[in-house]
C-alpha cells in the first residue's frame, strides 16, 4: 500500500446516477457558470472583481435571512433564539470585512483596465445591501428610485421601508417586558431613519448600571453594538480599498466616490447604545 494515497473507505458513496450529489445539492453548475467577464480581450483580474462581489452578495443574502428571523423572533418575545441569529450575523459581517483584503490586491493600474467594462454598474446599486441597511434602521425613501427599473426589487424595498426595523422590534420587546419606552418611539414613523431619543439613553443607563438584573437585555444591547461596530468596519474597509484603487475619482454609478463613502461613516443604527456609554461609571 502506498502511504501517500488515502484509499476510499468502503462505505463512501461513489455512484450518483440516481442519488443526490454535493454539486447537485449546491447547484454548482449554475453557480460556477455565473461569472461573465465583459472585457475584450479578456483581462485576468476581472474574474477577481466579479467573484468578490458575487460572494459578497451571497453573504448579504444570508445576512438578510438571519436579520429577518431575528426581527420576527423579537416580535414574538423569543429573545434567546434572536440572540443566536445576531451572533451569526456578526460572523457573517466579519467575513465581509476580511474579504476586502482580497480585492485590495487589485492595483490602480489593474483596476483601470477593468473599469470601462463596468459601465454604469456600481455596488451602490446592490438591493441586498440596501435591504440590510433598511432592516438595521438607515431608512431612505430616495434610494427607491435607483431601483425603478426593476419593479419587483423596488416593491420589496418599499415593503421593508414600511416595516419596523430590527431595533424597532427590540424596543417594542422592551416595552412589553415593562421597560419605560417612550410612546413616541413605539409609535414612530418607521419609514424614516431612526433618530436618537434621550429617554431611551436613560432606560439603557439603568440596564448598564445593573447588568445582572437585566442580563438578557444587556446581552442584546452588546450584540447590537457588535453588529454596528462590524458594519462600520465594513464601510471603512470599503472606503480604504476604493481610496487605494481609484483615489478621489467619482464612482462608476455617478457618486462622488470616497467622499460619498466617508459620509456613511457618520450614520448610526443604534445611537442610544453608544450614547449610554458616557453615563456608565
Binding site residues for heme, as ranges?
Answer: 238
Cα distances (angstroms) measured from residue 178 to each of 26, 173, 175, 217: 46, 9, 5, 12
Name 222's Cβ contacts closer than 8 Å, sequence gap at least 6. none
The DSSP element (H or E) to which 128 belongs, if any, is helix 127-136
Binding site residues, as ranges?
Answer: 49-53, 111, 115, 238, 252
Q: Which of 219, 275, 253 is nearest to 129 (CA)?
A: 253
Binding site residues for substrate, as ranges?
Answer: 49-53, 111, 115, 252
Q: Could you count the other beta carbons within 10 Å of the beta carbon of residue 173?
A: 22
Q: Indicate the length of the chain as a whole number.
A: 281
Query: If phi over 0 gives left and psi between -120 and 50 gives alpha, with beta otherwise, what is residue 178?
Result: left
Amino acid at each position: 500500500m502506498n502511504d501517500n494515497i488515502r484509499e476510499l473507505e468502503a462505505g463512501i458513496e461513489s455512484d450518483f446516477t440516481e442519488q443526490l450529489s454535493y454539486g447537485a445539492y449546491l447547484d454548482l453548475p449554475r453557480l460556477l457558470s455565473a461569472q461573465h467577464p465583459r472585457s475584450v480581450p479578456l483581462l485576468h483580474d476581472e474574474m477577481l472583481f466579479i467573484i468578490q462581489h458575487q460572494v459578497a452578495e451571497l453573504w448579504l443574502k444570508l445576512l438578510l435571512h438571519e436579520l429577518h428571523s431575528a426581527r420576527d423572533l423579537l416580535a414574538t418575545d423569543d429573545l434567546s433564539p434572536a440572540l443566536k441569529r445576531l451572533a451569526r450575523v456578526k460572523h457573517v459581517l466579519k467575513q465581509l470585512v476580511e474579504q476586502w483584503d482580497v480585492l485590495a490586491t487589485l492595483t490602480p493600474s489593474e483596476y483601470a483596465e477593468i473599469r470601462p467594462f463596468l459601465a454604469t454598474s456600481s455596488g451602490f446599486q446592490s438591493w441586498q445591501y440596501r435591504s440590510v441597511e433598511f432592516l438595521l434602521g438607515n431608512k431612505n425613501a430616495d434610494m427607491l428610485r435607483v431601483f425603478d427599473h426593476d419593479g419587483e426589487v423596488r416593491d420589496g424595498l418599499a415593503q421593508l421601508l414600511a416595516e419596523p426595523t430590527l431595533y424597532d422590534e427590540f424596543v417594542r420587546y422592551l416595552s412589553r417586558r415593562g421597560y419605560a419606552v417612550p410612546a413616541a418611539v413605539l409609535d414612530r414613523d418607521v419609514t424614516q431613519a431612526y433618530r436618537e431619543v434621550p429617554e431611551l439613553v436613560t432606560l439603557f443607563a439603568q440596564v448598564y448600571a445593573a447588568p445582572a438584573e437585566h442580563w438578557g437585555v444587556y446581552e442584546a444591547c452588546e450584540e447590537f453594538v457588535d453588529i454596528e461596530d462590524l458594519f462600520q468596519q465594513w464601510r471603512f474597509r470599503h472606503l480604504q480599498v476604493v481610496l487605494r484603487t481609484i483615489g478621489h475619482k467619482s464612482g462608476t454609478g455617478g457618486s462622488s466616490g470616497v467622499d460619498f463613502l466617508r459620509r456613511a461613516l457618520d450614520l448610526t443604527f443604534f445611537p442610544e447604545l453608544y450614547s449610554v456609554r458616557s453615563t456608565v461609571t
